[in-house]
Amino acid sequence: MQVTRILAVRHGETAWNRDTRIQGHTDIELNEHGRWQARQLAQALREEPIAAFYASDLSRAHETAQAVASVHDQPVSTHRGLRERCFGRFEGHTWAELESRWPEDALAWRKRVPDFAPPGGESLVQLQARVVAAVTELAARHPGEQVLMVAHGGVLDILYRAATRLELQAPRSWELTNTAINRLLWTPEGLSLVGWADTNHLQRGALDERTA
């Protein structure tokens, strides 16, 4: 059986990442450091065979994917299924603000209650269904090939859980670093994990920043 190799990447840093503000579907662009991360990622993957480049339609993910695709002289295709979880009224707030304004909702989020959805937002169950369906749809197009998928922290969390068969409520012990390289395999039976959170390209001096 031919497998699809997936390079799954979280977008570069944004100002809201730095401020620990919840982004969700709010379209926040990369900050200067995030663009540097995207350039470093592009250099790290410049020799990788990549058949297709996919990204969430939010600009922070699309711009990150575009940095890599440009090195390969290829376009980026967007897919709404790769969007971050919709956090409804939580978006734009910090964790401290959530605990202060909506303590019960904040506790349900902290405890990862699977069917809890912030008002106007998605539950973890809904996010899981959306993300797994989108990744399955895209990966099934490329048996025997490798593809890049640039998405968001919540999406990457779902993919890790799907690949390792962890429940939605299991505590997270893995990193979701901006532009870290994560490697997965997909077959019709599902996802499996190859490697996670490779950040060698983000170490200052690991790549020549002047050419990145």
Catalytic residue numbers, as ranges = 11, 84
Q: Using CA atoms, how far apart are residues 156 and 210, in angstroms rounded to an integer?
A: 29
Q: What does the radius of gyration of the chain's CA atoms come to, in whole angstroms?
A: 17
Q: Per the structure block, which two tokens stand in for 95?
A: 């964790």
Q: Per the structure block, which two tokens stand in for 207?
A: 């790549």
Within a 13 Å sphere around the CA of 84, how many CA atoms are in the beta-carbon half? 21
Q: Please, are residues 108 and 37 in contact by the beta-carbon 8 Å criterion? A: no
